[in-house]
Amino acid sequence: MSKEGHFSDRMTARIQSIESRLVVGIDPRLDCLPDGIEADDPEQALTHLGVGVIEAVAGLAAAVKPQVAFFERWGWRGWKALETVCRSASEHGIPVILDAKRGDIGSTAEAYAEALLGDEPGTLGPYVDALTVNPYLGSDSLEPFFCRVRDGGRGVFVLARTSNPGGGEFQKRPGDEIPEEIIQVREAAPGSFLLIPGIGAQGGSIGDIAGAFDGQGLGALVNSSRGIVQAFEKQPDRPWQEVVQEAAKESRDALEGVIWA
Amino acid sequence: MSKEGHFSDRMTARIQSIESRLVVGIDPRLDCLPDGIEADDPEQALTHLGVGVIEAVAGLAAAVKPQVAFFERWGWRGWKALETVCRSASEHGIPVILDAKRGDIGSTAEAYAEALLGDEPGTLGPYVDALTVNPYLGSDSLEPFFCRVRDGGRGVFVLARTSNPGGGEFQKRPGDEIPEEIIQVREAAPGSFLLIPGIGAQGGSIGDIAGAFDGQGLGALVNSSRGIVQAFEKQPDRPWQEVVQEAAKESRDALEGVIWA
């Protein structure tokens, strides 16, 4: 049940086929639901919203990025919904980048890798194409995840740099600035995809990220979460999936404009 | 439903009442089960083993430390078992230190804090006394967890230093050595508990950790996982819980010997 080929190759094919570098982050909140989805059954609400977003963005998103925390927030019922959402994306042919930022050592890291990038029925693994991981415990802690890249056709995004106020405490050297850092990482890892979070609600501007792409407009994916998944809040009178689809299309087009400018 | 008082005060009272600084790590593996527990239903096997360990060590463990990865490994069914295991520890009056090493920013960190240190029925939160977190994303990423320390009576263990080969890549300065680092941290945080992993299978020696304790033999907890939870492997003919209990008693006594040496 390993995925066929390399994650980067599958991603490149997907980007070229639907002409999109947009990743739609799925961060469902039960205090922000469209009309017709009730919060009283968390599993059902998370599933309904998550699957609904996937249907809406299926032709527009290079990948979807479910954020585990917003499912884990509701215990095992949330995890059950997360499995359904990842399976739905997989059935729609959309690559799933699971945002879990896991990191541990030895057999514990191996257990996370098996849970989230493995092939076991009854886990998320079979439906996940790539995983975000945290490198604080060092290179050897990432090895169980990298094994799934070499032998399982999966992708791993290693958390490098975040733009929050404390982001530089462990992640940067004095004087480093994010736009230049992106260009340095781009040069250091020419064959790899970079995952750039946060156009929209997280405050990143589209112009800042042009340096993440290579000459072919490849090698980077750009995430938007709340700007798409919560778009219905601003137009409560329209069908919510239509509004989400429109927001995804706008972000997709804006990104394509940067690439081909 | 917040916990009463401060985590450190509850921990101190527990240590003094049962005369133990031992944390029993619960890392259940379905390829290592005692006779009488079948692996074919993961939820049942994890629950049976986890609750069985808790019954065995209830009078000997200062706290138990379930490792989330070994439950998450089995998807939402594993998470359901994890909830049962944490509830069981709570019912036995044993503090639960949940080993999850979560770390993220903003509303995502808030969702993890609510999931794992919150009060919501149907989540782990009500049964968890303290949580391990990963600091790579910086101080502000830890704030949602620290809120639960100030206002919810919970504890947070911030991952600082691990002894794996790559552990020093982000965690140390040139020349730092772990035994001295422990003493420095002990001095820098005189009112806090340190969680020292890995006597037994992880290779730490009991003598190295004496510097983690303060003059009253308080301020540190020492974890053993496989050495206790898998002790039955070496004596397959005896009742497994009896063997686990005996292993816990030996580790507890060895630790007390170091403190009062």
DSSP 8-state code for residue A112:
H
Over residues B72-81, mean pLDDT: 98
Least confident of A35-49, A213-227, B35-49: A213-227
- Long-range CB contact pairs, A181-184, < 8 A, 24+: A182/A208, A182/A209, A182/A211, A182/A212, A183/A211
Q: How many CB atoms lie within 10 A of CB A145?
A: 26
Over residues B110-129, mean pLDDT: 97
Which tens digit of pLDDT belongs to each residue from A20-30?
999 999 999 99
C-alpha to C-alpha distance for B132 and B154, rounded to whole angstroms: 11
In the predicted structure, residue A202 carries a pLDDT above the cut 60: no
Question: Do B96 and B129 meet the contact criterion of CB atoms below 8 Å apart?
Answer: yes
C-alpha to C-alpha distance for B4 and B11, rounded to whole angstroms: 12
Which tens digit of pLDDT belongs to each residue from B232-254?
999 999 999 999 999 999 999 99
Within 8 A of B227 by CB-CB distance, chain A residues are none
Over residues B143-163, mean pLDDT: 95
Q: Do A159 and B168 touch (CB under 8 A)?
A: no
Q: Which of A185, A105, A191, A106 is nearest to A155 (CA)?
A: A191
Q: How many CB atoms lie within 10 A of CB B256?
A: 15
Phi, psi dihedral angles at B24 (to 5 degrees): -95, 115
- The answer, for A114 touching chain B at a CB cutoff of 8 Å, is yes
- The answer, for B123 touching chain A at a CB cutoff of 8 Å, is yes
User: Could you tell me which residue, A116 or A215, shows the higher pLDDT?
Assistant: A116
Catalytic residue ranges of B:
101
Which tens digit of pLDDT belongs to each residue from A64-95?
999 999 999 999 999 999 999 999 999 999 99
User: Could you tell me which residue, B111 or B189, shows the higher pLDDT?
Assistant: B111
Output the six-digit token pair for A201.
């609600």
Q: Which of B155, B147, B220 is nearest to B185 (CA)?
A: B220
Chain A, 165-194: which have a CB under 8 Å from a chain B CB? 165-171
